[in-house]
Chains A and B, each alone.
Chain A
Amino acid sequence: MTFKDLHIISMKSFSRDMIDHILDTAEKLEPIASSKSKSDLLKGKVLAVMFFEPSTRTRMSFETAMMRLGGDVLSLGSVDASSIAKGETLADTIRVVEGYSNAIVLRHNKEGAAQLASEFSSVPIINAGDGAGHHPTQTFLDLYTIRRESHLDGLKIALAGDLKYGRTVHSLCYALSLYGAEITLVSPKELRMPAEIIDDLKSHNIKVRETDSIEEAISDVDVLYATRIQKERFPDPAEYRKVANSLQITPELLEKAKPELKVMHPLPRTNEIDPRVDGTPHACYFRQSFYGVPVRMALLALVMGALK
């Protein structure tokens, strides 16, 4: 198994062995991520960070991951102040930036942008989100969180919120299908998981159940993964409020859950999780956010060939 120069575009190109290796590597690097030890593993290497749309957590965790391993970061900066504003294609931008760097992290508003970039780049492309498409590094950190905080094998998980447009849950579903998880999909009917993804899961013999009631889903699961319901998806604000409130996670709701249930969220949250949940043993979304650093350290070290 070699990861050197591998493009990281979609979870679909990763086998369970490959995922396990990435998670094992992340676990070894976690003390460096939390600054308990130091590393010069990527000294002399440059990571180009190209974000064509705003992001805080993903960009900062990649930059932190690279710096924790002693490497340097080259940022695209503002799109408005770059050649893209002059009409340069993504293909040309990638062919220029590959000459400056050892790997490129790309976030783009168009679906398929990372795939396209990989066809023009000789250095590894890491997809940090392409439109409503894939966000594999989020999935790796989600899997890492589940493994650290709960268990991956025999997992019962509920995914709640915007399952139609939420790319994090799409990729996560594909990955969990490799671990034989039982998946309950909780969403309003307007925001249901796309049928092609459910078909793919069923073709992997995954038990999938759909419901619009979070109360119904919560009692039997090990992990509850909430996503943000985006207000702008609803033409009628009253409909949004009705839906948003029906999926809110509160301490009262959690009384019906298993004591070991973990609540995850890719953040930022709006009102999906009541702040009173933060202090309960169920909350692990801020640790989940931190786990992005060791996971991205592992990916960077592997694709740049510093680790095998």
Chain B
Amino acid sequence: MEETPIPEIRVHPIRNGTVIDHITAGQALNVLNILNIPNPSSGVVSIIINAPSVHGIKDVVKIEGRELNVEEVDRISLIAPKATINIIRNFEVSGKTHVHIPEKVSGVVKCINPNCISNSNEPVTSRFTVKPDGRKITLRCSYCERTISEDIGNHLL
């Protein structure tokens, strides 16, 4: 008996909004966390996880009716350094940029060292220097100098 082909599920193009492409596979949910999604006022959000691409597998997030600000893009760069941000206006790509990896981030990540002074009740914000290393990012705490290079998404504030 001939097998019935399974219909391919397609994500519809969006009219206005942002497509975040080439997200490191497995990081899509952390991207949503950074963007505070879901929340009642956000538009339709589509997520593709483990999509095949020329560089292996990737995640993609499409957000209707929202363009990202610089701070949000900086945060995304920490967990998806190869991501591209496509601004969609009237179904057309009106702008495409690679995420910019900042030299320093402040108030974005919590230090993994429980004995770091930034994890106490002092009036300071966590601060890290950012070192790109190929497809990975290493963060070094400006207070205790402990580094984070794995699972950065789990330490986002």
Contact = CB atoms under 8 A, between A and B. Distances in A.
Given A131-B144, A133-B144, A196-B147, A112 B118 contact: yes
B115 A109 contact: yes
Given A115-B143, A133-B144, A196-B147, A110 B116 contact: yes
Interface in A95-151: 108-113, 115-116, 119, 130-133
B120 interface: yes
Interface size range of chain B in the complex: 10 to 19
A245 B138 CA distance: 38
A185 B101 CA distance: 35
B120 A110 contact: yes
Contacts of A131: 115, 144
Contact of B123 (A91, A133, A196): A91
A176 to B, nearest CB: 18
Contacts of B142: 112, 115
A111 B115 contact: yes
Contacts of B96: none
A113 B123 contact: no
Contacts of A130: 117
Interface string B1-13: 0000000000000
A295 to B, nearest CB: 23
B124 interface: yes
Contacts of B115: 109-111, 131-132
Nearest to A110: B117
A133 B145 CA distance: 8
- Chain A at the B interface: mostly helix, strand, loop or mixed? mixed
Interface residues of A, number: 18
Interface in B89-143: 113, 115-118, 120-124, 141-143
B15 interface: no
A111 B111 CA distance: 11
Nearest to A170: B145
Chain B CB within 10 Å — which of A10, A115, A196 has the most? A115
A89 interface: yes
A113 B116 CA distance: 8
Contact of A112 (B121, B123, B144, B147): B144
Contacts of B121: 89
Nearest to A134: B145
Given A90-B117, A131-B115, A111 B122 contact: no
B155 interface: no
A175 B86 CA distance: 47
Contacts of B118: 112, 116
A111 B120 contact: no
B130 to A, nearest CB: 15
Interface in B38-70: none
Contacts of A133: 144-145
A89 B123 CA distance: 8
A111 B147 contact: no
Nearest to A92: B123
Nearest to A10: B145
B111 to A, nearest CB: 8
A199 to B, nearest CB: 10
The 8 A-B pairs with the shortest beta carbon distances in the complex, nearest first, are: A112-B143, A111-B144, A112-B117, A112-B144, A110-B117, A113-B117, A116-B117, A115-B143
25 contacts: A89-B123, A90-B120, A90-B122, A110-B116, A110-B117, A110-B120, A111-B115, A111-B116, A111-B143, A111-B144, A111-B146, A112-B116, A112-B117, A112-B144, A113-B117, A115-B142, A116-B117, A116-B118, A116-B122, A116-B124, A130-B117, A131-B144, A132-B115, A133-B144, A133-B145
Interface of B: 113, 115-118, 120-124, 141-147
Interface of A: 10, 89-91, 108-113, 115-116, 119, 130-133, 196
Given A111-B115, A116-B124, 7 more contacts: A89-B122, A108-B117, A110-B117, A111-B116, A111-B145, A112-B143, A196-B147
